[in-house]
Amino acid sequence: MKYQFELNVQEAQPVLSIRTRTAVEKLPQVIGEAYGKIMRYMGELGEQPAGVPYTAYYNLDMQDLDVEMGFPVVSALPGQGEVKAGAIPAGRYVTCMYKGPYSQMEEPYNEITKWITENGYEPSGVSYEYYYNAPDEVPESELLTKIAIPLK
């Protein structure tokens, strides 16, 4: 499978998010619940997301994933309870658009990691996935996910 990689510099992006730890098999439920809580809170504020939802992965321990689920917002908003105000940091990112099932994302991750190394960059240790559609909207083969890895 062929992937296209882009090197981008992005500004800090304000977000509302929930950060938690979970095992990989519980991830779909955890992500769904987090997005629901954030959307309800945004509704209370009379706000809408400024883009597609994301999940940030702070580690790759499949039994104890450190993950942050959130939505970009137009400007900084106050957090409430487990919904925190924050930002996706400014900086250089390598990105890749992946089309297909979440269960087969190891390949694009391996390819993007290889590209980073071959081009003399170093990843920061966090990876972001931006979800342009959802399993309840399209067949698994049509899922669109942008992988973004910040560089040191």
What per-residue confidence (pLDDT) applies to 152?
A: 93
pLDDT tens profile 101-128: 998 999 999 999 999 999 999 999 899 9
- The three-state secondary structure class of 100 is coil
Mean pLDDT of the residues in the chain: 95
The pLDDT score that the predictor gives to residue 38 is: 98
By CB atoms closer than 10 A (0-12, 13-18, 19+), residue 102 is middle
Query: What is the model's pLDDT at position 1?
Result: 52
Question: Domains along the chain?
Answer: 5-150 (3.20.80.10)
DSSP code string of 58-95: S---TTSEEEEEEEE-SS----BTTBEEEEEPPEEEEE
Predicted TM-score (pTM) of the model is: 0.94
Q: pLDDT tens, 39-63?
A: 999 999 999 999 999 999 999 888 9
> Tens of pLDDT along 50-100?
999 999 999 988 899 999 999 999 999 999 999 999 999 999 999 999 999
On the CB side of 56, how many CA atoms lie within 13 Å of its CA?
20
Residue type, 123: P
